[in-house]
Amino acid sequence: MLITGDTLRLIEDTKDRLQQTFKMKDLVELKFFLGIEFTRSKEGILMNQRKYTLEFVSELGPSAAKPTVIPIDTNSKLTTKEYDDHIYKNEQGPTDPPANVHAYQRLTGKLLYLTMTRPDIAYSVQNLSQFLQQPKKSHMDIVIRLVKHIKKKPGQGVLMSSQENAEVSAYCDADWVSCPFSRRSVTGYLLKLGESIISWKSKKQKTISRSSAEALQQLSLNLSGYWDY
């Protein structure tokens, strides 16, 4: 259990009341919780999953030997087996054999858990999560590349800044018709409170946009729950 707040006395009272009912051990300062490490400094609190990342990378062994700088080539369009069959039909298309479904799902699931402290891989994992049922070799190659990317900086995470700044800012964009088989656009956004990142996501839009302007309009609707335009 993690108890947080800005009033130390209230936190202590809460723990005292809980200890009257439950058998508890107070671990004092938070350092590790649900696979997330917390490191304090004068700049703030750094949340990262370094231990989890190193264990993840070690599972692949030599396959994750050489780190990569870019997690995914944004110009490459990942497709499903059904899409390939529809496009090429009876023609001889490019050879892309199926990948091990269990291995692909397990690795993608681990990457999905890493997105809690790694906004830089959110777009890549969103792409890979679309092919959990029938992954191909090209999909598994991207997973391996992404693991090589996180190996480069396993301690990278999210800094909760100690600066007192309540200003909310946002960065967002939409990639028009980025999905080749559904023709839907992908929305990406990142929200900050002061210097601290508090929310981020990469997701496919619900409707098909007929222009880049309409894709951006859908983006504004997705973010309307955070503030009024």
Check whether 67 has a pLDDT greater than 50: yes
Q: Determine the pLDDT at residue 60.
A: 78
Pick from 53, 9, 72, 86: which is nearest to 156 by CA?
53
The backbone torsions φ and ψ at residue 139, rounded to the nearest 5 degrees and listed phi first, read -70, -45
Band (pLDDT 50/70/90 cuts) for residue 190 is confident
Q: What is the DSSP letter of 158?
A: E
- The distance of Cα 159 from the centroid of its chain, to the nearest Å, equals 16
Output DSSP code: residue 62: G
Helices (H), 89-169: 101-114, 122-128, 137-152
What span, in angstroms and rounded, lies between the C-alpha atoms of 54 and 150? 9
Whole-prediction pTM = 0.76
Quote the strand ranges of 44-98, DSSP E. Answer: 44-48
Q: Which of 3-12, 54-63, 72-81 has the highest mean pLDDT?
A: 3-12
Per-residue pLDDT, averaged over 167-171, amounts to 86
In Å, how far are 34, 127, 162, 176 from 79, measured between CA atoms? Answer: 34, 10, 43, 16
Which residues share a beta bridge with 160?
A: 45
* Region 124-139 average pLDDT: 88
Residue 93 confidence class, pLDDT cut points 50, 70, 90:
low
Say if residue 223's pLDDT is above 70: no
**Model confidence band, residue 50 (pLDDT cutoffs 50, 70, 90):** very high
